[in-house]
Amino acid sequence: MLVGRAYYSLSHLANLFDNEFEAKIIDATRMQAAGKLVINLAPTDEDGTAQSSPLEEKIEAPEDMLGERIYFKVKVKEAKDLPEELCKDPFVTYGFYLEQK
């Protein structure tokens, strides 16, 4: 059963630093808050191992990133204030806007 959906803007990745965010989970059937999801997108290197992106040294403004490839990890830190009756074994999936996969 779908508890709800949360949204996060990828525009923060242009700054190339961790950006922890608390996104509201919206229950689409009742159009009300169904909890909160604490997430972070952390820039990495191509292997996903470094704590920072190798682009940091050559990027002075977000516009400099046009055409560059960005690697990052999606970290789901916590889901909280979920409706008890819907959360017997909760899990999170994610997708990118307008992406078919």
Torsion sign, CA atoms 61, 43, 34, 7: positive
For residues 32 and 24, the answer to whether their CB atoms sit within 8 Å is no
CA gyration radius, the chain: 16
- Judged by average pLDDT, the poorest of 1-5, 40-44, 95-99 is 95-99
The residue ranges of every structural domain in the chain are 10-82
Three-state DSSP state, 65? helix
pTM over 0.85: no
pLDDT tens for residues 53-97?
556 666 777 777 788 788 888 889 998 988 888 777 888 888 877
Q: Count H helices and E strands in the chain, helices first.
A: 0, 3
* pLDDT over threshold 90, residue 38: yes
